[in-house]
Amino acid sequence: MREIVLDTETTGFNTEDGHKIVEIGAIEVINRLPTGRSYHQYINPEREIDASAIRVHGITNEKVSGMPIFSDIAQDFFDFIAGDPIVAHNAQFDVRFLNHELNLADFDTMPNEVVDTLAIAREQFPGSQVSLDALCRLFEVDLSDRTFHGALLDAQLLAAVYLELTGGQQPILSLDDDADDDGVDSSKYKKTLARAPRGFSASAEELAAHQAFIDKIQGNMW
């Protein structure tokens, strides 16, 4: 099963106010294993970034002024997500912005199933802090590189959190084929279902002691 864990950074907090996306980061996960394949793009929003947003993600107007606009990267993004389930934290925020941008670029809205890790975390930990930072600390996911919010880094962190929230990183493997339908080579993972025999024999002293013990048992079955 292929899933896309993604995050976005924006010029502000509401599409109704004309705010737009400045960064997309997405991680491919297949059969509960990150594949190392990702999508990352800075985007020229063709408008000013709010100071409050810059304080969150550190992306300045100068940084994105020479980047492509969303309509220029929309097809590449659409090709990467490929209709597979999307995982995001507070997913309605990211999905609303992405669909807004897609509509502006004359693309259809995303047909993908959406999984909201914020909703999952609230159900599992009612009354607790369930921000991405808080969940990373709970699951001991390394936050040392997170000075600002960043779409690709946050997607990587969220992938680790999502796997913990939903049972840990347990690959779904086929025992019949070396590659599954999603193209993941499962031959690199162990398929052993039983423990291999021990590679040693009992010493002569151990055998003698064992036989002496058996000889003491009356009516034994050996």
Domain count, the chain: 1
In which residue ranges of the chain is pLDDT below 50?
173-202, 210, 213-214, 216-222
Question: What's the pLDDT score for residue 201?
Answer: 47
Closest C-alpha to 38, from 179, 172, 170, 158? 158
Strand (E) or helix (H) holding 135: helix 132-138
Contact yes or no for 153/24 (Cβ under 8 A): no
In a domain? residue 141: yes
Question: What's the pLDDT score for residue 155?
Answer: 97
Give the amino acid at 102. L
In a domain? residue 45: yes
Q: Which two tokens stand for residue 190?
A: 């162990």
Phi and psi at 167, nearest 5°, equal 115, 5
Question: What's the pLDDT score for residue 222?
Answer: 42
Q: Which two tokens stand for residue 134?
A: 């808080």
Task: From residue 46, give the alpha-carbon distance in Å to each of 16, 25, 71, 87.
Answer: 16, 19, 12, 27
In a domain? residue 114: yes
In a domain? residue 10: yes
In a domain? residue 57: yes
Q: What is the CATH number of the domain that holds 10?
A: 3.30.420.10
From edge to edge, which strands make up the β-sheet containing 33-42?
Answer: 33-42, 21-30, 2-10, 86-88, 114-116
> For this structure, is 149 an active site residue?
yes
Q: How far apart are CA 130 and CA 12, in angstroms?
A: 22
In a domain? residue 196: no
Q: Give the structural domain span for 166.
A: 2-187
Contact yes or no for 147/162 (Cβ under 8 A): no
In a domain? residue 158: yes
In a domain? residue 213: no
Question: What's the pLDDT score for residue 192?
Answer: 32
Catalytic residue among 19, 100, 149, 210: 149
